[in-house]
Amino acid sequence: MSIAEKTAQQLVQKNELYEVTVHPQSDRLYHVKISKTAIQGFLNTVKEKNVSVESLEYTPYHRLIVSSLLLDQLGEDFSELIRSIIHNRETGGFTLGLEGVTKDTDDYVIFATAITHLLGMPNHDSMSGKYYARFSVKDTDSSDSYLRQAYRLFTLHTDGTFVDEPTDWLLMMKMIEENAVGGESRLLHLDDWNELDKFANTPLADHKFTYKAPQSKNVSQEVARKTFFKVNDKPCICYIDQFAYPDTIEQAHYLSDLSTSMENDSSVIELGLPVGDLVVLNNLFWLHGRAAFEKNPNLNRELMRQRGHFVE
Ligand SMILES: [Fe+2]
């Protein structure tokens, strides 16, 4: 059976090592719960082999080695399972956590790396100069994008709009959270968006918009991208309001109306993600953003991201 043919029911499963359930907040997402024993076993072998965050950064093959150490604990089927979820159009997303086994953020980076390298290869993150990026949101910020501005809604978008390489999937992991109220990840599955047809079936859906990154992203190239494109005959989206440069008033209205429609859609979910948990999404048909935080001078929230492409 191919990955795409797996049904939702086949993804829900339980064994002594992990359990897959429909996510309590959305029937588009799954929650994968790994046993504490398996997580501890994974961390122990990582330590025995002297794998550190530094060795993952410097030596790319170590990233695949940690994936294999995770499969040693969970079995090869685990890899097939999470790839099935991410490739399946009906879902395309899951949450997963370290179950409180460790609070060490280096362990978080290592664990997330083991997960992403079962899905594909991360792209270089120009903002950090690494294959992953950690970024914090605090009370004050002078950055040039909404990524780190705490008290503003960060509108729904996909990642990788302004780079010239595919961004098929996205992992976000909660590293630190102190004095934070609000700031949930806002998510929308394309097929749940009420006005998808209206915006995907108009000539402007095929228009190649110019995308340019702000300086903090360290990407100087411009790319031209269509807002909608098809994969397996299903519409997919590439969109972020902040970095698109329309040429006409009509194009500006199209982008603005599309953004407003998504933001007001009743299917947008605000995901609760505990520290040490991560969410992985198919970036071709899931949009993500962030709710505003409530004002607090001691606000400190840090996320890690890894974005990448599928490898056949
Ligand atoms: Fe993003």
Confidence grade of residue 312 (pLDDT, cut at 50, 70, 90): confident
What's the CA-to-centroid distance between 231 and ligand 1, angstroms? 21
CATH code for position 120? 3.60.130.10
What's the CA-to-centroid distance between 288 and ligand 1, angstroms? 6
| Residue 101 in tokens | 């086994």
pTM, entire model: 0.94
Tell me the per-residue pLDDT of 271-306, one tens digit each, with 9 for 90 and over: 999 999 999 999 999 999 999 999 999 999 999 999
What's the CA-to-centroid distance between 200 and ligand 1, angstroms? 21
pLDDT beyond 70 at 2: no
Handedness of CA 7, 8, 9, 13 (dihedral sign): positive
What's the CA-to-centroid distance between 73 and ligand 1, angstroms? 31
What's the CA-to-centroid distance between 239 and ligand 1, angstroms? 10
What's the CA-to-centroid distance between 215 and ligand 1, angstroms? 16
What's the CA-to-centroid distance between 217 and ligand 1, angstroms? 12
CB 150, CB 183: distance < 8 Å: yes
What's the CA-to-centroid distance between 59 and ligand 1, angstroms? 26
Tell me the per-residue pLDDT of 51-81, one tens digit each, with 9 for 90 and over: 999 999 999 999 999 999 999 999 999 999 9
Tell me the per-residue pLDDT of 119-161, one tens digit each, with 9 for 90 and over: 999 999 999 999 999 999 999 877 777 777 889 899 999 999 9
The separation between CA 49 and the C-alpha centre of its own chain, rounded to angstroms, equals: 29
At 117 the pLDDT is: 98
What's the CA-to-centroid distance between 251 and ligand 1, angstroms? 22
Q: Is residue 219 part of a domain?
A: no
What's the CA-to-centroid distance between 305 and ligand 1, angstroms? 9
| Residue 272 in tokens | 């609760």
What's the CA-to-centroid distance between 50 and ligand 1, angstroms? 32
Q: How far apart are the first and last CA of the chain?
A: 16
Tell me the per-residue pLDDT of 81-98, one tens digit each, with 9 for 90 and over: 999 999 999 999 999 999
Q: Is residue 97 part of a domain?
A: yes
What's the CA-to-centroid distance between 283 and ligand 1, angstroms? 9
Q: Is residue 135 part of a domain?
A: yes
Identify the domain containing residue 35 by its residue range: 3-191+264-310
* Cβ neighbour number for residue 88 with a 10 Å cutoff: 20
Tell me the per-residue pLDDT of 178-218, one tens digit each, with 9 for 90 and over: 999 999 999 999 999 999 999 999 999 999 999 998 887 77
Number of compact structural domains in the chain: 1
Q: Is residue 56 part of a domain?
A: yes
Q: Is residue 94 part of a domain?
A: yes
Q: Is residue 198 part of a domain?
A: no
Q: Is residue 216 part of a domain?
A: no
Tell me the per-residue pLDDT of 235-259, one tens digit each, with 9 for 90 and over: 999 999 999 999 999 999 999 999 9
